Structure 1
Amino acid sequence: MTDAAGHRRIGVLGMGTYLPAQVRSNADVARDAGVTPEWISERTGVRQRHVAAAGEAASDLAARAVRAAADTAGIDVRDVGLLVCATSTPDELGPSTACRIQAVLGASRAVALDVSAACSGWLFAAKVAHDWLLASPEIRYAAVVGVEAYSKFLDPTDRGTAVLFADGAAASILSPVAAPQGFAHFAFGSDGTLADRVLIPAGGSRLPADADTIARGDHRIRMDGRTISRFITDVFPGLITDTLDRAGLSLQDIDRVVAHQPNPVLLRRMGAELGIPEGRLVVVGDEVGNIGAASTPYALAAAARDGLRVGDRVLLAVFGAGMTWGSGLLTWTGAPARTTPTRTSPPEPHETEGAPDERC
C-alpha cells in the first residue's frame, strides 16, 4: 500500500500485552529498600510493579504478548514472517530471545532476531521491522515485542533501582497499511560515552561471571540516577520538537504522546513544561513501573484501549541506556489492543498456554 508519492506505508494492525501475576506493592519494596511507601510514591509515582515467577523468563512473557497481538490483528502467528524482540534481559547471552519466542509460538516461518537498545528498544526494533517489510514485500506480517524481566537482576536493597524497575511485555503486529496511516519521520541517536551510567556490569565478555563478580553483586542493575535524570530532561524536549518540525506539525495536531515510562512523576512534569495538552500524554508507569523496552508499546496499547481512532496522530519518543534515543510519528490504523490475563500459578519454562485472552 502506498502514499501519494508512491511510498509503501507500514503500520500497526494490533497490539498485545502481558504482565506476570505476582505484584509487588510500594510497601513490599519499601521494606527491603529502607524507605517508606510514601517516599516511593512522592518521588516516582509508581504504585505497584509486576514480577515474573521463578519459572518465567523474558521469552515466556514476550510469547504471550505476541500471541495476544496476533489474535487482536486477526492473524495466525504461523503467518508472521519476521519476529524482532527488544530486550536488555534476554533468556541467555545466546541464542537470541527471539528464537526462544519463535519456538514457543510455533512461528516457524519467521526470521527471528533481537535488538538491544535498552528502554529505547521497541522503537528501534519497529524501525528494523518497518524497513525489512518495505524491502521484502514477500513478508506480510512482522511481530515486534518489547520485554523485560528486570526483577531477575535487581538488588532489592538498592532504592535507586528496586523502586522503579519491573517485568512485562508488549507487542505489535506490523504490516502494510493504507496511506496516510502508518509510521513516518523516524529519527534515532546514541551516545556510547554514557554507557556505564546504567548497566549490568558482569556476565558478558568484558567481565565474565565468576565467584568474585557474584560476591560483589555485579550481576545486578547499576544506575547513576542523577545523570540519567539529567539525560532524560535534556533529550525528551528535543525528541518532541524535532519530530514536530520534521512533520510540519504543532503539539495541537498530536492526539497522543507515547513515550518511555522511566518515572511517572518526571514524565508528567516534563509534559507540563512542554505544554502537552491535558490528557494527551500517556502515562502507565504508575501501575507497572519501568518495564524497559516494553514501556513504550505498553503505553501505546493502553492508548489503543482508551480509544485511539483511525487517523489519530501518535508522537513516539524513547530514550534509554547506552545512551540511546529515538522518535517517530505513527498515524493510527484503528488497531485494537488485547491484554493476556495474568495467571495465578507460574508456568513451566517456555510454556505459554493457559487462561483464555480477554478483549479490551
Structure 2
Amino acid sequence: MDYGLMAFGSALGKPDAVADIASEYTEDVERVREYGYRTIHRSPDGVGLTDLAVDAGRAALDEAGVEAAELDLVVLAITDIPEYLYWDPAASLQDRLGAHRAEAVLVAQGCVGGITCFDLLAGRFATHPEYRKALVVGANRTCEAYWNRMDTHSLLFSDGAAAAVAGRGHPGLRWRASEVLTDGRYADLFLLEQGGAADPFRGGEEPAPARDAWDLMEFFDYDAERFEAFIDLMNDRVREVVARACKRIGVSVSDLARVVLLNDNLSTLTKVADKLGVPLDRTNLDLSMEHGHFGAADHILNLRRHRASGDFRAGDLIALAGMGRGMHWGCTLLEC
C-alpha cells in the first residue's frame, strides 16, 4: 500500500525536572533517578486526553495545509483511560476537529498503538480506494487516580499527544511494512480489578490507590527470577518483531538507518539496542531522557523531532518498534 506521512503536530504538558518532583510520587527517589530521565511533561487539571489529541491534530493539519473536512479517516491510539466510560474519544476527536466525513477508529493497545495504527492505515487505504487523506494521533494523559506516573512502571509517564497526516501516494516517510506479535498469557499483567463490569464502582466508593511497581510483581508471585525472565522475553521479542518486519520487505536489521523505540529508561533502551545490534546514537535515547514516556504518542512524536533535526536522509529505512500491554510487540517500517 502506497502512502506516506505529510506533516506532524504535537501538544505536550508542562515540562518539569524529574529531580524536582520525584518525591511527590515515590519514596524511592534514587531508583527513579537511575532511570536516566531528565524531564517529564504534566498537564494541569482540566486538560484531558482528547484536548491534547485535538491540539496535536490541528497542528498537524495546519502544517500539512489540509482542512479537517478533507480527511477520510481519523485514528486515535491511546494508552491510559480516557475521560469517560461508555464513550469513544476517537469519535469525539473527529467531531471537535470538524472532520465530519471521516471514519473514526480507536486503537487501545497501550503503548504499541502508536506503531500498529500505521498498519491500520495501510489496511483502510487498501480496502477503501476512495480514501486519500488520514490523520493518526497518539495520546497519553496519565490518570493519576489509577496510575502512579513514576512508581507503577520503570518508565516515567508524560502527558502529551502527537499527530501525523498521511496521504495516499505521498512520497515522504512511506509506509513499507508492519508486523505484530501478541502473547495473551500476559493479558492480566496490568489489570485493574475495580471499575469494570466484573467489579463496578458503587456510589460513594473510593477507587483503589494508584498501582505501584510492587502490585505488578503480584502477577509473577513476587518471584524475581520469573520477572527477570519476562523482561528478557520482552526485549527479545522486540528484536524478533523488527527482524520479521525487515524480512517482509527483503532487508535486514543492519539496513536500518534508525530505530525509534519507546521512550523507555536508559537501561532498557541500552539492552534493546544491543539485542538489535544498533548503536544508541541511532535510537531515540536522548529524546526519551529529555521528555519521558508519552505512551502511544512516543513514536509519532519522535518521528517529528528526528525529522525536524535533520536526522533522516532520502532513502533511509526507519523502524518504529516497541511493546504494549496485552502483551503486544510491534514494528512498522517507513522509508524516507
Per the alignment, residue 169 of structure 2 pairs with: 177
Q: Which residue, 23, 34, 42 being the options, matches 1:30?
A: 23
**Matching of residue 142 in structure 1 with residue 134 in structure 2:** yes
**Matching of residue 317 in structure 1 with residue 321 in structure 2:** yes
**Matching of residue 20 in structure 1 with residue 22 in structure 2:** no
Gaps of at least 5 residues in structure 2 are: 221-226
Per the alignment, residue 235 of structure 2 pairs with: 233
Tell me the amino acid that sits aligned with residue 66 of structure 2. Answer: I
Give the deviation of 1:83 after TM superposition: 0.6
Give the deviation of 1:94 after TM superposition: 2.6
For normalisation by structure 2, the TM-score amounts to 0.86
Tell me the amino acid that sits aligned with residue 322 of structure 2. Answer: V
Instruction: State whether residues 33 and 162 of structure 1, in contact with CA within 8 Å, keep that contact through their aligned partners in structure 2.
Output: no
Q: Which residue, 60, 68, 74 being the options, matches 1:69?
A: 60
Q: 1:59 to 1:24 in 2, by over 3 A?
A: farther
Q: Which residue, 166, 186, 206 being the options, matches 1:194?
A: 186
**Matching of residue 289 in structure 1 with residue 302 in structure 2:** no
Q: Distance in 1 between matches of 2:43 and 2:189?
A: 25
Instruction: State whether residues 52 and 160 of structure 2, in contact with CA within 8 Å, keep that contact through their aligned partners in structure 1.
Output: yes
Give the deviation of 1:273 after TM superposition: 4.2
Note the aligned Cα RMSD (angstroms).
2.7
Give the deviation of 1:148 after TM superposition: 0.9
Gaps of at least 5 residues in structure 1 are: 1-7, 333-360
Instruction: State whether residues 153 and 220 of structure 1, in contact with CA within 8 Å, keep that contact through their aligned partners in structure 2.
Output: no
Range moving further from structure 2, 60-69 or 128-137 = 128-137
Q: Distance in 2 between matches of 1:29 and 1:189?
A: 34
Q: Which residue, 209, 227, 233 being the options, matches 1:217?
A: 209
Give the deviation of 1:128 after TM superposition: 1.4
Tell me the amino acid that sits aligned with residue 59 of structure 1. Answer: T
Q: Which residue, 309, 327, 330 being the options, matches 1:326?
A: 330
Q: 1:269 to 1:313 in 2, by over 3 A?
A: same
**Matching of residue 298 in structure 1 with residue 301 in structure 2:** yes
Q: Deviations over 1:230-251 (max 9, x none)?
A: 3422212212322233333234
For normalisation by structure 1, the TM-score amounts to 0.81
Q: Distance in 2 between matches of 1:254 and 1:135?
A: 29
Tell me the amino acid that sits aligned with residue 164 of structure 2. Answer: S
Q: Distance in 1 between matches of 2:147 and 2:88?
A: 25
Tell me the amino acid that sits aligned with residue 300 of structure 2. Answer: P
Per the alignment, residue 36 of structure 2 pairs with: 45
**Matching of residue 82 in structure 1 with residue 68 in structure 2:** no
Q: What percentage of aligned pairs have identical amino acids?
A: 28
Give the deviation of 1:314 after TM superposition: 0.6
Q: 1:320 to 1:258 in 2, by over 3 A?
A: same
**Matching of residue 97 in structure 1 with residue 99 in structure 2:** no
Q: Distance in 1 between matches of 2:322 and 2:154?
A: 21
Instruction: State whether residues 51 and 151 of structure 1, in contact with CA within 8 Å, keep that contact through their aligned partners in structure 2.
Output: no
Q: Distance in 2 between matches of 1:114 and 1:172?
A: 15
Q: Distance in 1 between matches of 2:210 and 2:151?
A: 16
Tell me the amino acid that sits aligned with residue 290 of structure 1. Answer: H
Instruction: State whether residues 213 and 219 of structure 1, in contact with CA within 8 Å, keep that contact through their aligned partners in structure 2.
Output: no
Give the deviation of 1:203 after TM superposition: 2.1
Per the alignment, residue 5 of structure 1 pairs with: none
SS at match of 1:67: helix
**Matching of residue 256 in structure 1 with residue 248 in structure 2:** no
Q: Distance in 2 between matches of 1:157 and 1:69?
A: 27
Q: Deviations over 1:204-252 (max 9, x none)?
A: 2223223697353278896449466334222122123222333332344
Per the alignment, residue 246 of structure 2 pairs with: 244
Per the alignment, residue 109 of structure 1 pairs with: 101
Q: Distance in 1 between matches of 2:183 and 2:154?
A: 25
Q: 1:123 to 1:157 in 2, by over 3 A?
A: closer
Instruction: State whether residues 17 and 40 of structure 2, in contact with CA within 8 Å, keep that contact through their aligned partners in structure 1.
Output: yes
SS at match of 2:136: strand
